[in-house]
Chains A and B, each alone.
Chain A
Amino acid sequence: MSEIDMAVIKPEMMKPYVWLQTSDDSIQQVEQEIAMFCPLICQEIIQKGMGSSKNCAICLPQQVSPAMLSLILDYCRFHQVPGRSNKERKSYDEKFVRIDTERLCELTSAADSLQLKPLVDLTSRALARIIEGKSPEEIRDIFHLPDDLTEEEKLEPLRNITADPRIRLLNRLYAKKRKELKERERLKNIEVEEEHVDERSVDDLLSFINGNEGEPKGVKTSKNKKKNRRKKEQQKNSSSKETSELDKKEVNGHDIRHQSSEAERISESSYLHYAEDGTSTPKSDDGDIYDGIDPALKEKIDREVEDFARRLNSDWPERMQELLSSGQDRKTLLFNTDGFLRRHACMFSLVLQYFPFSIICFLAEL
């Protein structure tokens, strides 16, 4: 009953066709349910009741030419059928956008004017895929756009992915330098494990640490990749102000570079941990990221160490005796005074195993 009423009152709602007028003023008849897929047309029909006859055909935006309209209608016709799987739709879409670039652009524009968002997304992505990976010259060719930029304007932040041999050499130098630094760190880490036993009591150490709150020089830090890296930076930057007059237990070749209070606190806690464990070294995170020791580098360091040890023993025999007698309960630390010490810090730790007294005396001297 009501259906017939509806048919009488609103005949256009039952008609399956709508009339669309394209940019060239030609009028087409289109199945309603397909056309309704486009939000703009839908709106026109429902809100304004247009499109029911040739006379009140819906005027489409001027970006929609007849060719574009037929393409869009094809798209709508395919997608408005509910029974299609996602895979089907996807493969249809892929084929659909395999048209020449000009038409693709037009299609994007037309779809946008009809507010057909899925098609806009599809075509935009297709355009983006076309532009991707092309040089400016190629892009200009594809879209037939003459160049209208001045030379300066072209100097935008472009990245150089060249295979320029100079860049490659530079890269290799960087890599080598980085590796070298890592090796040094790694060596120092390894040497920690062969440290001499801490002879002072825990209480002693505690009081020592607490008493030295304000002097953040040679304390062990918790292993932290960032901190290690930062240490290297800091050691390059800082100078002799790092000289410490404190007597601190030598712990590690690379421990003593932190000057921030944050590091201080952490290092204090880890120092305690270290003291309790004796010779154990906190597991080095660095070990995870460092490569195996470069054998050439290790050899070089070994040689340096032997050299240094020889020199030490030959130059300082008297002083050794002197200092031994006077500074018996003074254990000195390896601390960071300048680049020389830093660079040879790893050597010091190696030397320590060979010539423990010599190194201590030498440092006491400093």
Chain B
Amino acid sequence: MAKRPCPSQNPRVDNLNDVERLLDAFLSLSDLPSLSLDLSFERLLHSLPPDSDLIDRALKMGSLLLDAAKHSSRKRASNHNSLAWPLPPDLTIKVFSMLDTQSLCYASATCSLFSKCAKDPLCYANLDLTTLVPKVNNAVVATMIQRAGKALRSLKLGVVPGATTLGSCPPFVCTIRHSIVEVSNFSWNDKRSRQGRESSILTRCCLSPLSGDGGAPGALLRKLHLYNIERMDNASLSVALSACPSLLDLEIVGL
């Protein structure tokens, strides 16, 4: 039914099945200089009986094609990156470990190569999660601590007016859905953790990941600074501190 604009030059076409040939033909339409797909679609629509579901079909097929193309485009980009990026992974990780926490997050949102390297524990040795406004919540803290694992050496948490000012950064909305999927420690039925996820506030359980994993993250923690965590209470704080036997530098402001 589809008109083949010209016999395909491509020898591979013979090995394809019908669907693929149709697709090939359709896509080669993009070479047509006089293509006006919307007009052709309208005309086809009018030629059919009014109750045809052409529009819905077009929507469906269009989105399927778009998704497939996006997927392949991402794969192509990944390939390109793995060839173009000159540093081996361990060097990349070394560079990332010299970044502050926010830049690390931005870097990991750049491409999948960076994202993979940014998940290495060495990059999370010094966590600085202080913000100007309450924005970091329990789940974020938990993810980061979990990623740090044994490499965690210093942790700064809370709301500090005049904190990390990276001037030229455009605002980025903070959501942590992806990271939650990775956090295997959380039980989805745990009301506490769910509350922590939905709000932007650090609750008193925010330091509980330090005791997780058999206390591995807290064991080598040297520096802990907490600023203005309103909901922190004695019990949780003492639990957290008892999970950090190597603590050398402790600063708590605004409790």
Say yes or no: is B132 at the interface (Cβ < 8 Å to chain A): yes
Residues of chain B within 8 A (CB-CB) of A157 are 105, 136, 139-140, 143-144, 174, 176, 179
Residue of A nearest to B75 (CB): A148
Instruction: Write the nearest CB–CB distance from A239 to chain B, whole angstroms.
Output: 17
Asked if B246 CB lies within 8 Å of chain A CBs, one says no
Given contacts A148-B75, A148-B112, A149-B109, contact A108 B91 (CB under 8 A): yes
Is A203 an interface residue when CB atoms closer than 8 A count as contact? no
For residue A109, CB closer than 8 A to chain B, the reply is yes
**In the bound complex, do residue A163 and residue B234 qualify as a contact, i.e. CB atoms below 8 Å apart?**
no
**Interface assignment of B198: CB less than 8 Å from any CB of chain A:** no
Q: Nearest A residue to B165 by beta-carbon distance? A: A161
CB-CB under 8 A for A155 and B178, given A109-B87, A134-B106: yes
CA gap between A263 and B229 in the complex, in Å:
21
| Residue from A109, A131, A262 within 8 A of B99 (CB atoms) | A131
Quick check: A159 and B255 within 8 Å, CB to CB? no
Instruction: Judge whether B112 and A153 touch: CB under 8 Å.
Output: yes
Bound CA–CA A167/B80 (angstroms) = 39
Find chain B residues with CB under 8 A from A262 CB. Answer: 234
Taking a contact as CB atoms under 8 Å apart, the answer to whether A156 and B109 are in contact is yes
Residue in B76, B108, B174, B228 whose beta carbon sits within 8 Å of that of A160 in the complex: B174
Q: Are A128 and B168 in contact (CB under 8 A)?
A: no
CB pair B169–A156 under 8 Å, yes or no, is: no
Whether A170 touches B134, Cβ cut-off 8 Å, given contacts A128-B99, A139-B107, is yes
A295: interface (CB < 8 Å): no
Query: Chain B interface residue count: which class?
Result: 35 or more
Given A164-B171, A171-B132; A136-B107 close (CB under 8 Å): yes
> What number of A residues sit within 8 Å (CB to CB) of B?
57
Residues in B neighbouring A159, C-beta threshold 8 A: 102, 105, 129, 131, 135-136, 172, 174
| B101 to A, closest residue via Cβ | A159
Q: Is the beta-carbon distance between A167 and B95 smaller than 8 angstroms? A: no
Residue B33 interfacial (CB < 8 Å)? no
A141-165, CB < 8 A from B: 143-150, 152-164
Interface residues of A in 215-261 (CB under 8 A from B): 225-227, 229-230, 233-234, 260
CA distance A63 to B111 in the complex (A): 23
What CA separation (Å) do A241 and B252 show in the bound complex? 31
Residue positions of B touching A, CB distance < 8 A:
73-78, 80-81, 84-88, 91, 94-96, 98-100, 102-103, 105-115, 129, 131-136, 139-140, 143-144, 159, 164-179, 204, 228, 230-235, 237, 252, 254-255
